[in-house]
Structure 1
Amino acid sequence: MANSDSGASSNNYSFKVVLLGEGCVGKTSVVLRYVEDKFNERHLTTLQASFLNKKLNIAGRRINLAIWDTAGQERFHALGPIYYRMSNGAILVYDITDEDSFQKVKNWVKELKKMLGSDICLVIAGNKIDLEKQRNVPIEEAEEYAKTVGAKHFQTSAKLNKGIEEMFLDLSQRMIERAQENDLQKASELGRSSSMRRNVVVVDDEQAAETSTSKLTCCGSTT
């Protein structure tokens, strides 16, 4: 499922990352802060989806992230599978002041796991920590939930530029590890397949018939 255009020996990777969550939780603001280091005080409504590219260099590896920012409005929910299929990573964003947005994250996690299994690396982002005094989602509850679904939890603020760089870096490193594991598994499977082919002896029909006849003659002469 990995979109890395690399083998285990290559240092180039291309990953698709999708942001999912309710409208108004700040998905677009998170992406714009990360890719362009910009923040707009006015709410930006995403219609359907848009994507931005970000190039990274991690420990000598060149990484290209195609980051898909999806619409959060309910009427666009059915389009979700179009955008998150073939994704290597997903960031599920909720607003720490909005309990319902956190509950909706759980629905997205179920959907992603149903469609993509354990191949996708998950991050849950509690956004808008600049509004800490209005928090309605306890940190402990969010972190505990993230652990149960194999996700990492980050607290972020697009406005204050907090937690965003670290979140994308951690996700990128995990996607690299997952891609390398998949490459090693493929190499191992190819090795087993090659070994099995070497152990197969092909005998054509004429040889098989001659062998069978000689055995019958031999057996006939001894009785």
Structure 2
Amino acid sequence: MAVREVKVCLLGESGVGKSSIVLRFVNDSFKPALESTIGASFMTKRLDVDGVSYQFQIWDTAGQEKATFRTVKDWVRELKRNCTTDLVLAIAGNKSDLNDLREVRVREAEEYAQSIGAHFIETSALSAINVPQLFKAIAEELPPEDSISVRPGSTVHLRRHDENKETQTSCCGSKKSR
């Protein structure tokens, strides 16, 4: 069976559980005191969906401030403005096990996801709820390989909206001139 490589980049604010989702998906484990990601980390996992084998290359980026759902819209705008290839967007409402601390109503998140053509899935890396389903949904939404128009070596550069236009943040958080 041929293996289809899929690049996934997890974006979001610090503390929302991006690293925990990756750890749950790749190793089926959870660490309650996971240290914050510095720069980015990279892990892979193979998943078979409907007779196709997908090799997920998962980039877990370092979060910035802690503002969660409010900044998802900024991330999506930046992706759509800068990405020249086909995108599959999925929004994970992580920490669904903490329902009593909920800040975003499920309906609000679902409506936003629908408005941008994204999947919304509530997950819990702690209790392993819907984590594999998140990646399965991504795989099922991918366009056929023969319809993908990717330029070899193309890169998407993301920056925060409030970032000074004269500087660019490197992957490790330091500023450098453009």
Q: TM-score range by the shorter chain?
A: 0.7 to 0.9
Q: 1:46 aligns with which of 26, 37, 43?
A: 37
Deviations along 1:143-199, one digit per CA (max 9) or x if unpaired, are 000000000000000001001111111101212xx134615x8xxxxxxxxxxxxxx
What SS does the aligned partner of 2:42 have? strand
Helix, strand or coil for the counterpart of 1:24? coil
Residue 47 of structure 2 is matched in structure 1 by 56
Distance in 1 between the 2:27 and 2:56 partners?
Answer: 13
Counterpart AA for 2:108 = E
Segment drifting more, 13-22 vs 42-51: 42-51
Indicate the percent of aligned positions where both proteins have the same amino acid. Answer: 42
Q: Which residue of 1 aligns with 2:26?
A: 35
1:25 to 2:48 alignment: no
Deviation by residue 1:1-28 (Cα, 9 ceiling, x = unmatched) = xxxxxxxxx8431110000000000000
Distance (Å, rounded) in 1 between the aligned partners of 2:133 and 2:33: 25
TM-score (norm 1): 0.63
1:71-118 C-alpha deviation (Å, 9 max, x unpaired): 0025xxxxxxxxxxxxxxxxxxxxxxx8x3101111100001111157
Check the 8 A contact 1:11/1:60 in 2, yes or no.
no
1:16 match: 7
SS class of match (2:68):
helix
**Equivalent residue for 2:120, pick from 153, 168, 174:** 153
Q: Which residue of 2 aligns with 1:182?
A: 147
Equivalence map 1:1-223=2 (5 Å): 11-74=2-65, 100-116=67-83, 119-175=86-142, 178-180=143-145, 182=147
Whichever residue aligns with residue 35 of structure 2, its letter is L
Comparing 46-55 with 110-119, greater Cα deviation is found at 110-119
Contact persistence 1:24–1:43 (CA under 8 A) = no
Separation (CA, whole Å) in 1 of partners of 2:50 and 2:115: 30
Distance 1:65 1:13 in 2: 8
Aligned structure 1 segments of 4 or more residues deviating by more than 3 angstroms: none
TM-score by length of 2: 0.78
In 2, Cα distance between the equivalents of 1:55 and 1:12? 9
Letter of the 1:140 counterpart? R
Q: SS in structure 1 opposite 2:97? A: helix
Aligned to 2:164: none
Larger radius of gyration: 1
Q: Secondary structure at the match of 2:47?
A: strand
d(CA) in 1 for partners of 2:34 and 2:53? 33
Write the distance in 2 (CA, Å) between the matches of 1:46 and 1:110.
Answer: 23
Greater share of helix: 1
2:71 maps to amino acid: K
Structure 2 residue identity aligned to 1:104:
T
1:150 match: secondary structure:
coil
Corresponding residue for 2:153?
none
Secondary structure of residue in 2 paired with 1:121: coil
RMSD: 2.0
**Any unmatched runs of 5+ in structure 2?**
150-178
SS of the equivalent of 1:104 reads helix
